Amino acid sequence: MFLYLLFMLPPLALMLYAQWRVSSSFKKYSKVGNLAGLSGLQAARRLLDEHGLANIQVELTKGKLSDHYDPRAKVLRLSPEVANTASVASIGIVAHEVGHAVQDREFYAPLKVRNSLFPVASFGSQFGFILVLVGLFLYGFSLSFGLPVAWAGVALFAVAVIFSLITLPVEFNASSRAMAMLSGGSLVSVRESAGVKAVLGAAALTYVAALLQAVGQLLYFVLMLVGFGRND
């Protein structure tokens, strides 16, 4: 238990801090209007058209800060609070998602790798942990194939960790593209761009925390199974 807490508590603390920063930054800059006076929905359409992405549709989606670009459907989906608000926070989030659309058009390699890994990573994050537990349960009943089953779970979970790792350059690059789109433009002022950077920086921190959590979990699994193997 001590080893588990040692690996998991620091990333958990960072994640809680990151989520607080996202919430507080978004709340603060949602009250600051952007220079162009455009809602998130209007800004999305304008940025997409300006960057040769008139074919990308913009839709509303449910949920709080559930904004995302869907590369399969070629649709940019915005949450109501982003789509309907003419704020610095909204335009920053929109520009970030448009950055993902530009990545998709340019066949940005990390995005393509992440998209290809998504099905396996999603399965691994959900069932890798279960396989580890099942394997250890079987091993506890002196069934020798329990450890290989547990290691299979670790391998599945490792794909999810790789997915989280590749997510970092994808998200950082999208934020860099967002700042480039907005800097020197007519959508936000120089002063407002600091607010955009604060919102995007807080969001980026959540991806760092998610990666550290995944790595910590993976290391714990590996050390635990290595220990069991040595006891054979």
Residue 195 CB-half CA count within 13 A: 25
Which of 50, 81, 97, 171 does the annotation list as catalytic? 97
CB 96 within 8 A of CB 175: yes
Spatial distance between the Cα atoms of 61 and 68, rounded to a whole number of angstroms: 9
Q: Which residue has the tokens 């915005």?
A: 78
Strand pairing class (68-70; 75-78): antiparallel
Q: Which two tokens stand for residue 113?
A: 């790798």
Q: 111: phi > 0 → left, psi -120 to 50 → alpha, else beta; which?
A: alpha
| Residue 171 known to be catalytic | no
- Work out the end-to-end distance of the chain between its first and last CA atoms, rounded to an integer number of angstroms: 22
Q: 189: phi > 0 → left, psi -120 to 50 → alpha, else beta; which?
A: beta
Catalytic residues: 97
